[in-house]
Chains A and B, each alone.
Chain A
Amino acid sequence: MIFAFLKIAFRNILRAKRRSLITVSAVGFGLGALIFIWAFVDGAHRQMVENYTSLIAGHIQIHKQGFSQKEQLEMNFSRPEEIIAKLTRLAQVKAVSPRIKAFGLVSSAEHSSIVSIMGIVPQKELSVSRMSDRVKEGKFLEDNKSIVIGERLAKNLNVSLGDKVVIMSQALDGSIASAAYHVNGLLDTGADEIDKGVALITYTAAQELFVMDNKASEIAVRINSAEDARIVSRMIANDLNSPDLEVLAWQDISPMLYQWVEFDNGFIWIIVLVVMIVVAIGILNTVLMGVLERTHEFGILLALGTKRRQVISMVAFESLILGIVGSIAGLGLGCVSSLYYGKAGINLSAFTQALNNFYMDAFIYPRLSFGHVATSLVLVLIISVVVSLYPAYHAANLKPVDAIRSI
């Protein structure tokens, strides 16, 4: 019997081709736009997280407990290689790199600036972060006398490649740490705080400078998927099982970025709401018009003995079919456009400056997420049925005597 009502619903849709087409377009365009926007936002987020984590932070960082509150040389841990050995045994862990982090005064002949000094192992760092890709001039770290600094810092210090700079700080034992390095490369990351405030030297050089034998400030970890950072960080914490160590996922390392992503994820629901309203109005319009036009016919149906709930389902089916057809169109539109731009990228180079501050590139690559596509689809289908309830209810409650009289 349901099949018959479906058939009637389907034929009613075909009967009002023009109107149905408009509705299907509204639903299709709405869903397509929603899928695309969501993919765009997901893509942008992925890029932000990827850029942020690959720039320096890594997906997960391990420190001495309290380092994140108080970033000091004293906040270090011994025998990093033992932790590294444990980490590399985890399947989710792709790469690991130990670091020494300290603050110090970096000086040229003319100027000085307080910067964050990072001692890194160049080879290991290559697979954890993309710092080396961001070397705009010169080369990445080579020997223990080389230093790589931000381009802006170089400008502030008025130094260029090959020039000598001096780092002055305090070593772990309290003694004055000072050493000279040759500028081997200039970083251009787009992130001001890095370009202005970071100096990279080798791990060995940093160990020597800061008297940090067999100690590290940080182990940066790259895992298979940034999304799993929280889970993997918990696994690592369990594995290391040391109250002296803190294991932070990128969400904890950059709460600002995480909150931005979360804010965006919340904000997208406003877009969802708007699209749902458009879809709802589109479907409501068609179905309500269709019902009002067919008052006489509903009168006949009711007079013949059709039950009210049967009338309701007839109208709801109509709406659902419009929703389904529109959704298929929207699914196609959204997925194809997302996939296409996912390859080609969306050129936003006009906003490079602003984007850089959010760790985004000039090109954004939308990325479909099954969950978000499914959510959009289900929402559109639900809304298409929900919205038909009013016209359906109206049709079902017509008085046959009055309805038949109206032609």
Chain B
Amino acid sequence: MLIKTINLTKTYTIDGDIQTPALRGVDIVIDKGEFVAIAGPSGSGKTSLLNLLGALDTPTSGSIFYEDIDITKIALNALSGFRLTQIGFVFQAYNLINTLTALENVEYIMLLKGVSADIRRKKAVDILARVGLGDYINRFPRHMSGGQQQRVAVARSIAAEPKVVLADEPTANLDSKTAESLIELMKELNAEKGITFIFSTHDKMVMDKAKRLINLHDGKVVS
């Protein structure tokens, strides 16, 4: 068991008093090395769930265990350290720091962790080569395609060797061919490095690539 949620709920308060439930009691267990897709229509609570799993947001009630640590008990200030060491992130789009090159974006995460300059450089070059961007390491994001940018994001997410990579609709802004190859890449990395991947999607093709599918509907796991 890597991640376990118990009766997780999240209710947003809109305009001060309108309560909008996004998650209504989610219990899931994800084991180490899984390649999981969280599926469901828009508004089903995919992003809310990923935000909670990513320690970017706090639940209204319930618990999230990483191994045997309940991260809902961790103080907000300490969560940035937790994210840094435990979790890799890939967001929908515009994942990268625009003023850094592909290489520097990948290095950045290791920099925060305090990895020495030559090690992180070597590692970043290797990882970028692995994701097929060996020739693009000195490019700035604006000179790369959306697919290339997402590959850099994936490279960055695994660079610090996290326990889990969370990807919120990583293919949403990509054409289907590019999307497919990105998911393939993630799947390969999952297999190679044993890193757990959890990603949300509403794309049938992407769901099909997942080894396991968690279906959300109206804030509840339906299958």
Contacts and interface: CB of A to CB of B under 8 A. Distances in A.
A and B touch in the complex (CB under 8 A): yes
Contact of A303 (B83, B85, B104, B114): B83
Contact of B54 (A8, A297, A301, A303): A303
B56 A303 contact: yes
A11 to B, nearest CB: 4
Given A297-B97, A297-B98, A304 B91 contact: no
B109 interface: yes
Interface residues of A, number: 25
Interface string B69-89: 000000001001111110001
A404 B100 CA distance: 18
B99 interface: yes
B112 A300 contact: no
Contact of A300 (B84, B97, B99): B97
A407 interface: yes
A7 B56 CA distance: 27
Nearest to B77: A308
Contacts of A8: 97, 99-100
Contacts of B91: 300, 303, 404
A231 interface: no
Nearest to A10: B99
Nearest to B111: A4
Nearest to B97: A297
A300 B100 CA distance: 13
A391 B213 CA distance: 42
A11 B100 contact: yes
Contacts of A302: 80
B112 A304 contact: yes
Contacts of B11: none
B27 interface: no
Given A300-B91, A304-B89, A401-B51, A1 B111 contact: yes
Contacts of B156: 304
Contact of B99 (A11, A296, A310, A399): A11
Nearest to B79: A305
A399 B156 CA distance: 21
A12 interface: yes
Nearest to B114: A1
A7 B101 CA distance: 11
Contacts of B111: 1, 4
Query: Which of A7, A8, A300, A301 counts the most chain B CB atoms within 10 A?
Result: A300
B83 A15 contact: no
A304 B108 contact: yes
A358 to B, nearest CB: 54
B203 interface: no
Nearest to A302: B80
B95 interface: yes
B46 to A, nearest CB: 14
A400 interface: yes
A306 B93 CA distance: 19
A307 interface: yes
Interface in B92-132: 93-100, 104, 108-109, 111-112, 114
B218 interface: no
B180 interface: no
A372 to B, nearest CB: 37
Contacts of A11: 99-100
16 contacts: A1-B111, A4-B111, A11-B100, A297-B97, A300-B89, A300-B94, A300-B96, A303-B83, A304-B83, A304-B109, A304-B112, A305-B82, A305-B85, A307-B80, A399-B57, A401-B51
Interface of B: 51, 54, 56-57, 77, 80-85, 89, 91, 93-100, 104, 108-109, 111-112, 114, 156
Interface of A: 1, 4, 7-8, 11-12, 14-15, 296-297, 300-308, 310, 399-401, 404, 407
User: What are the nearest 8 A-B pairs in CB distance?
Assistant: A305-B84, A11-B99, A305-B83, A305-B80, A401-B56, A401-B57, A400-B56, A401-B51
